[in-house]
Structure 1
């Protein structure tokens, strides 16, 4: 399973993790993996919990695609890997967020076409 969620199905969340990561890196500069997982948990009030096994393959893909860079920082005997957006990643983030906003608006027109909000369903 990709996510452990109290609120949303993995099918609903599939394909959004890369957008979430890009957005968080844009807002926070550089972040390490655990920090990303905790930030998502905090922002979503615990509704979205990301496993390491889901996070790191996406981070590696973003790195391979030139969307992020890494910086290793020595912390005593440990090394922490920080991720940050590249210019290409910033452009991609802007594009996918715009696409997501358009998709959500379109989906809302279909799902809530009778004028009912989610609270009324």
Structure 2
């Protein structure tokens, strides 16, 4: 993606939506899922992902489960009950934002809007 700044404000919502759909995921799995869904257009770096995951956890929106996989510890993230509710709120906010942006960049002719 040429301007990933556009995605920065939505990163937490993207993470929460993926966790809502998949139950629980580990960090690398989240980055690969985003890459797959966006056909490589959006690559989330570890430097962006892990601070976002830690903030969501600190805010009580995520739980962390640690499991041993192939002789190493892996952290799995999943939504808490309040995280599930907040995901709905954030997705609604994002949908409203997208609608407003579409109205601004592709306005339909409206004779009532005369300046």
Give the TM-score of the pair, scaled to structure 1: 0.86
SS state at 2:41 partner: coil
Query: 1: CA distance between counterparts of 2:99 and 2:108?
Result: 15
Query: 1: CA distance between counterparts of 2:83 and 2:99?
Result: 24
Query: 1: CA distance between counterparts of 2:105 and 2:94?
Result: 16
What whole-Å deviation, never above 9, does each CA across 1:10-38 have from its counterpart, x for those lacking one? 22112111010000000000100000000
Q: Which runs of 5+ in 1 are unaligned?
A: 1-6, 116-121
CA RMSD of aligned residues (A): 1.2
1:62 is aligned to: 56
1:41 equivalenced with 2:53 (yes/no): no
1:97 equivalenced with 2:81 (yes/no): no
Query: 1: CA distance between counterparts of 2:79 and 2:108?
Result: 41
2:3 is aligned to: 9
Q: Which runs of 5+ in 2 are unaligned?
A: 110-115
Shift of 1:76: 3.7
Higher Cα radius of gyration: 2
2:112 is aligned to: none
With 9-18 and 93-102 compared, the bigger mean Cα shift is at 9-18
Query: 2: CA distance between counterparts of 1:113 and 1:50?
Result: 31
What whole-Å deviation, never above 9, does each CA across 1:90-113 have from its counterpart, x for those lacking one? 111100110110111111111101
Query: Between Structure 1 and Structure 2, how many residues are aligned?
Result: 109
